[in-house]
């Protein structure tokens, strides 16, 4: 279990979500077999819902892995959204490109190789949705550029913000994770206390934070 909700609640919610078939099922099985972290089942359903509601023209994703969430979002929009996703691990990029090409998403999904912080600094344009799922200890550092790149009506969806419950409970914090936990707390404080932003933190999956500008 994730450590952020009661186990019976988490299992009940997961059981409500139908199993995927085809593309997503194949990728889920690969992720399990190869110990590749992808978004949790309930997080995937939440992301699907938000993309369906928002109907974005453009999406920026931080953290590609094998391309699971990028392909999921592209499926929701029927490949009509331009998705730019950033990944620093070349092995992950190779696998993601293989999946993207295999399933015909190469025209809607673009992968940029590099460190998210470096890439963000030099990016231009506006995005309707920014999905943070990389560099868990650097969300607070990503935020200024993400806000700069966010469309006036856009939303930032940040995954893993409760980080196995450690962010909310000192008793759960493992020594080697202290820095990540402190920085994630810093991120949540930034987006929660900024009067120009409105943020909701949802105890689902590993914790999700949704942020938008208050006066947009």
**Domain ranges within the chain, ordered by starting residue:** 7-213
What pLDDT shows up at residue 170? 84
Kindly report the average pLDDT of the chain as a whole number.
Answer: 93
Sign of CA dihedral 137, 141, 147, 148: negative
Query: What is the residue-wise DSSP string for 66-107?
Result: TSHHHHHHHHHTTT-SEEEEEE--HHHHHHHHHHHHHTT-TT
Q: How far apart are CA 90 and CA 64, in angstroms?
A: 11
Burial (CB < 10 A; 0-12, 13-18, 19+), residue 130, is buried
pLDDT computed for residue 14 by the predictor: 86
Residue 14's contacts (CB-CB under 8 Å, 6 or more residues apart) are 41, 42
pLDDT computed for residue 3 by the predictor: 64
pLDDT for 11: 87
pLDDT at 91 over 60: yes
Q: What is the CA radius of gyration of the chain?
A: 17
* Helix spans in the chain (H): 7-16, 22-33, 41-54, 68-76, 90-102, 116-121, 139-149, 178-193
How confident is the model at residue 130, as a pLDDT? 98
Among 2-11, 36-45, 54-63, 157-166, the range scoring the smallest mean pLDDT is 2-11
At residue 32's C-alpha, the angle toward residues 26 and 35, to 5°, is: 130
Q: Tell me what pLDDT residue 1 has.
A: 53
152 CB contacts (<8 Å, ≥6 apart)?
213, 216
Q: What is the value of pTM for the model shown? A: 0.93
Q: What architecture does CATH give domain 7-213?
A: 3-Layer(aba) Sandwich (3.40)
For residue range 34-50, list pLDDT tens digits in order: 999 999 999 999 999 99
In the sheet that 208-213 helps form, which strands lie side by side, from edge to edge? 109-113, 82-87, 58-62, 127-132, 150-159, 208-213, 197-202
Instruction: Identify the pLDDT of residue 196.
Output: 96
Question: What is residue 79's predicted lDDT score, i.e. its pLDDT?
Answer: 96
pLDDT at residue 2 tops 80: no
CB 99 within 8 A of CB 27: yes
Structure token digits, residue 213 = 């500008």
Q: What is the distance in angstroms between the CA of the first residue and the CA of the last residue of the chain?
A: 37
What is the per-residue pLDDT for 6? 76
Contact 51, 58 (CB under 8 A): no
Measure CA 78 to chain center. Answer: 19
């Amino acid at each position: 279990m994730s450590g952020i909700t009661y186990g019976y609640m988490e299992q009940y919610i997961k059981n409500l979500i139908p199993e995927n078939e085809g593309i997503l099922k194949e990728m889920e099985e690969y992720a399990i077999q190869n110990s590749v972290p992808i978004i949790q089942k309930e997080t995937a359903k939440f992301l699907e819902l938000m993309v369906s509601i928002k109907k974005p023209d453009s999406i920026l994703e931080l953290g590609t892995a094998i391309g699971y969430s990028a392909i999921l979002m592209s499926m929701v929009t029927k490949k009509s959204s331009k998705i730019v996703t950033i990944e620093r691990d070349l092995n992950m990029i190779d696998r993601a490109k293989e999946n993207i090409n295999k399933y015909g998403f190469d025209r809607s999904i673009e992968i940029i190789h590099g460190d998210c912080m470096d890439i963000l600094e030099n990016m231009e344009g506006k995005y309707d949705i920014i999905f943070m799922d990389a560099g868990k200890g650097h969300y607070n550092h990503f935020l200024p550029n993400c806000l700069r790149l966010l469309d006036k009506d856009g939303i930032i969806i940040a995954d893993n913000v409760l980080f196995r419950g450690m962010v909310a409970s000192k008793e759960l914090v493992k020594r080697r994770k202290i820095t990540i936990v402190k920085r994630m707390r810093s991120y949540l404080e930034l987006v929660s206390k900024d009067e120009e932003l409105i943020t909701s933190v949802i105890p689902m999956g590993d914790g999700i934070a949704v942020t938008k500008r208050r006066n947009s």
